[in-house]
Chains A and B, each alone.
Chain A
Amino acid sequence: MSEQDVVTVRGLRKAYGKRIVVDGLDLDVRPGEIVGLAGANGAGKTTTVECIQGLRKPDAGLLRVLGFDPATQGAQLRPLIGSQLQDSALPDRLRVAEAIDLFTTPKARDGGELLEQFGLAGRRRSAFSSLSGGERQRLFLVLALLNRPRLVILDELTQGLDPAARRNVWAAVRQLHEGGTTVLLVTHEMDEAEELCGRIIAMREGRILDSGTPAELIDRHARRATVRFTLPEAGGSLLEQLRRTEGVQDVELSGTRVTLAGDRRMIAHVGAALVGWGPVPPDLGVHVPDLEDALLRLLENDQAAAAPVIPAQAELVGGRQ
């Protein structure tokens, strides 16, 4: 734990009834970082950020956010945080301009500028209920950024946004980062996490499985790249050459269709070999593992490790023991 950390969490535990949602979680967020919390539904991401904001009281654990204890000093803490919450709303008949006015504090940024930046300037007089899903998300983001927060918590930031609006929102988050704001991002969207986050924390069933930069996670959990193409006529010698190519770990031939698997550096060597051999196959396809592959592999491995070992005999008699 460092005094400099924006968020420090140690041994956070939260249960709803008998269901443990967060189970002994440790987390540090340093100033100026964009940290992503990633994981499947029910991983405990939203509960974790709600505890960090003081919206839920943890059952156990130590939390320190911007120097405050969220459980007992939530009132002092919350004005310093800008948050875009999952599953929340504004009053139906509240107009956009009224929402800006209501949430503005004396140190706030120019709400008009933010509305302009997020394409809502023309909707100032519109009631919240008349906004589309994307417009609502953008308004929530405007409200989260309005009061120059020291920590921004964004939960399912781009849910319901079209691709152009997503890019716009990503640009705004990057701009925040450049301005030194710390961002905690909860997301299912791995392209978003890869694009924005300096560090990603992968969660499952209330625990942290792994954390690191996107590149580190990919390197640790999804190193295997694949190259696929149809073997040209008289390509037997090419196949032999490729088997010996640096980085190639597996070669699979199905009819005339070749699949090569290996670490990412293999792609360059295979490409060079293909160019050297002759015309490049027209159906050449390359899959470079990304963060989504890494997270899926990580979650699968953890699930497999957690699964109870069923004795073979039990399987034979239909699972009864």
Chain B
Amino acid sequence: MSTTFGKLVKTELKLMTRDPLVLTFVFAFPVVTMLIIGGAFGTKPNPGFDHTNPAHWYVASYLTVVIAATGLVMLPVHLASYRERGVLRRFTAAGFPRWSFAIAQLIVGLLTTAVACALLLLVAWPVYGIPAVHDAWRVAVALPLGAVAFVSIGVLLGSLLPSARSAQAVGLLLFFPSFLLGAGGPPPNVMGSIVKKVADPLPLTLLTNAVREPWLGLGTATSSLIAIAALAVVATVVAARRTAL
């Protein structure tokens, strides 16, 4: 890692920790909603949750909420705001390579996701306990692939949307339905057939399936994992082309 690039990543990480939007959406929101909804259905195995402990169901689901919040809300707003205010132009004029900013955002997005996921587990542990991981390697593959996919989508949205306000509007519009249908809302077993049809192909639903099913021993979710891998590749390639990497 070149010194310039290393300094850019370090600075961006510092700035993330000072950003109220990041602190709210990526760190606080998933933890608070996980605590609320995790306790709403009790801890006894429930048929609506494939006969698992509902609290554990949500603990296993909410890691993907962190990933989606980073990719759909934090990064688009951050990047669009930089573009709108001429920050990217200033960095480019100062000799920072064009690729360095997009790669820095990718790294910062992945690190932020990792820290926020760790925080979520740390809070869940004394309250609901951490469910045992049945198929660790699938979970270990799905989480980083999902993070790369959503972070790339975030970089892409940030490079396409003209202003921070439009990025915030589009980001929230994408995030909340995905959150409610694909990870943090009611379990698929209680959804009506039309809602389920809408929810099933959403990227966040696929990612949540790819993490939750092997984690709780409900299945392998291989098709979801493949879809997320494909999404990660496509989103990264398109984001790279768009940001002239």
Q: Can you list, as one digit per residue, whether each of B1-24 has a CB less than 8 Å from chain A (1) or not (0)?
A: 001100110010011001100000
For the A-B complex with A94-B11, A101-B7 known, give 19 more contacts whose Cβ atoms are closer than 8 Å.
A55-B93, A75-B95, A78-B92, A78-B94, A79-B95, A81-B93, A83-B94, A85-B89, A85-B90, A85-B93, A88-B85, A90-B87, A90-B90, A91-B82, A91-B87, A93-B18, A94-B15, A102-B7, A143-B94
User: Residue B48 at the A interface, CB < 8 A?
Assistant: no
A105-B15 in contact (CB<8A): no
- Structural contact, A87 and B93, CB atoms closer than 8 A: no
Contact A93 B15 (CB under 8 A): yes
Q: How far is the CB of A220 from chain B (nearest CB, A)?
A: 34
Question: In the complex the two chains form, is B86's CB within 8 Å of A87's CB?
Answer: yes
User: A53: which B residues are within 8 A, CB to CB?
Assistant: 93
Where the two chains meet, the residues of B that have a C-beta atom closer than 8 Å to any C-beta of A are 3-4, 7-8, 11, 14-15, 18-19, 82, 85-87, 89-90, 92-95, 97-98
Q: Is the CB of A91 within 8 A of B93?
A: no
Complex contact A89–B93 (CB within 8 A) = no
Among B11, B15, B90, which residue has its beta carbon within 8 angstroms of that of A88?
B90
Whole-angstrom CA separation of A105 from B3 in the bound complex = 9
User: Nearest residue in A to B8 (C-beta to C-beta)?
Assistant: A102
A89 to B86, CA, bound (A): 5
Closest A residue, CB atoms, query B97: A75
* In the bound complex, CA of A53 to CA of B90 (Å): 11
Contact, CB under 8 Å: A91 / B15 = yes
* Cα–Cα, bound, A103→B4 (Å): 8
Q: Are A88 and B95 in contact (CB under 8 A)?
A: no
Interface of B: prevailing SS: helix
Q: State the CA gap A98–B14 with chains docked (Å).
A: 10
- Between-chain CB contacts (< 8 Å), 11 pairs: A53-B93, A75-B97, A78-B94, A81-B93, A88-B85, A88-B86, A88-B90, A90-B90, A102-B11, A106-B3, A143-B94
Check if A78 sits within 8 Å of B95, measured CB to CB: yes
In contact, A88 and B87 (Cβ under 8 angstroms):
yes
Chain A residues lying within 8 Å of B11, measured Cβ to Cβ, are 94, 98, 101-102
Closest 7 CB pairs of A and B: A88-B86, A79-B95, A78-B95, A93-B18, A88-B90, A89-B85, A83-B93
Residues of B contacting A85 in the complex (Cβ-Cβ under 8 angstroms): 86, 89-90, 93
B90: chain A residues within 8 A (beta carbon):
85, 88-90
Contact of B87 among A89, A103, A143 (CB under 8 A): A89
Which residues from B are CB-within-8-Å of A105?
A: 4, 95
Number of A-B contacts (CB under 8 A): 52
- Which of chain B's residues have a CB closer than 8 A to the CB of A78? 92-95
Flag A27-59 by CB within 8 Å of B: 1 or 0 each: 000000000000000000000000001010000
Smallest CB separation, B238 vs chain A (Å): 22
Measured in the bound complex, the distance between the Cα atoms of B92 and A79 in whole Å is 10
User: Would you give the shortest CB distance from A179 to chain B, in whole angstroms?
Assistant: 20
> Shortest Cβ distance from B91 into chain A, in angstroms?
9
Residue pair B14, A55 in contact (C-beta under 8 Å): no
Contacts of A98 in B (CB 8 A): 11, 14
Min distance, Cβ B28 to any Cβ of chain A, angstroms: 18
- Contact partners of B8 in chain A: CB under 8 A: 102
Bound CA span A94–B91, Å: 13
Contact between B92 and A55 (Cβ–Cβ < 8 Å)?
yes
* Complex: chain B residue closest to A87, CB-CB: B86
CA distance A160 to B85 in the complex (A): 17
Distance in angstroms from B31 CB to nearest chain A CB is 23
Bound Cα distance A75, B4 (Å): 13
Q: How far is the CA of A102 from the CA of B14 in the complex (A)?
A: 12
CA distance A106 to B15 in the complex (A): 24
Which of B15, B87, B94 is the most central at the interface, judged by chain A CB atoms within 10 Å of its CB? B94
- Residues in chain A near residue B3, CB distance under 8 A: 106
The complex places the Cα of A91 from the Cα of B19 at a distance, in Å, of 11
Please name all residues of chain A whose beta carbon is closer than 8 Å to the beta carbon of B89 when the two chains form the complex.
55, 85, 88
Give, as a whole number of angstroms, the nearest-CB distance from B115 to chain A: 18
Distance from A139 Cβ to chain B, minimum over Cβ atoms (Å): 11
Tell me how far the C-beta of A82 lies from the nearest C-beta in chain B, rounded to whole angstroms: 9
A22 to B76 Cα, complex, angstroms: 33
* Min C-beta distance of A157 to chain B, whole Å: 15
User: Closest residue of chain B to A78, judged by CB?
Assistant: B95
CA of A106 to CA of B4 in the docked complex: distance in angstroms? 10
Whole-angstrom CA separation of A224 from B15 in the bound complex: 57
Q: Which residues of B have CB within 8 Å of A102?
A: 7-8, 11
Report the minimal beta-carbon distance from A129 to chain B, rounded to whole angstroms: 11
Q: Which residue of B lies closest to A95 (CB)?
A: B14
Complex: how many Å from CA A91 to CA B11? 10
Bound: A89/B3 CA distance, A: 22
A89-120 vs B, CB cutoff 8 Å, 1 = contact: the mask equals: 11101100010011101100000000000000
- Determine how close the nearest CB of chain B comes to the CB of A46; give it in whole angstroms: 11
The chain B residue with its CB closest to the CB of A104 is B7
Within 8 Å CB of A88, what residues of B?
85-87, 89-90, 93
Expressed in whole angstroms, the Cα–Cα distance for A218 and B225 within the complex equals 73
Closest to B14 in A: A98
Q: What is the CA–CA distance of A90 and B96 in the complex, to the nearest angstrom?
A: 14
Q: Which residues of A contact B19 (CB under 8 A)?
A: 93
